[in-house]
Amino acid sequence: MDSSLQRLVVSRARAQCEYCRIPQRFDAMPFCFDHIVAQKHHGLTTESNLAWSCFDCNSYKGPNIAGIDSETSLVVPLFNPRLMSWEDHFTWNGPILIGRTAIGRVTIDVLKINDPQRIDYWRLLQEEGMFPPNS
């Protein structure tokens, strides 16, 4: 991946995770270039298949492209930041991310976005007036 593609992905994401929206400056772990459709599923290293992701979201997402919705028991695709609007699928309730749709619920579940340690950290940021991040 060349440096111009790397800069485009980070800039487009406004230096925040495209899944949980944590700003990079608030995360001690390095952010990653996520293949939205994993390379093992023939996803390409292209502008349309890359997202900027925090280490936690990237690690939990792995090569997954779908999950099972807890409300419907249906297989549902994960959120795709290149094709979908974040605001259509997610909303914040304090430091807890809520899925507005099956895609939102599945993404929160598979990526473990509402892990208790993450919520505790986000609550601290919220108390300092730095969370949730701006869209």
To 10 degrees, the CA torsion angle through 101, 104, 109, 114? Answer: -110
CB distance 56 to 71 below 8 Å: no
- Residue range 102-126, pLDDT digits in tens: 999 999 999 999 999 999 999 999 9
pLDDT of residue 131: 82
Measured distance CA(94)–CA(109) in Å, rounded: 18
- Residue range 64-76, pLDDT digits in tens: 999 999 999 999 9
pLDDT of residue 132: 82
pTM: 0.94
**H helix runs in the chain, sequence order:** 3-12, 55-61, 86-89, 102-110, 116-127
> Which whole-number Å values give the CA distances from 101 to 20, 61, 84, 131, in the listed order?
15, 18, 12, 22
pLDDT of residue 134: 62
> Which whole-number Å values give the CA distances from 65 to 5, 123, 130, 133, in the listed order?
23, 29, 31, 25
Report, as ranges of residue numbers, the positions in the chain whose pLDDT lies below 50. none
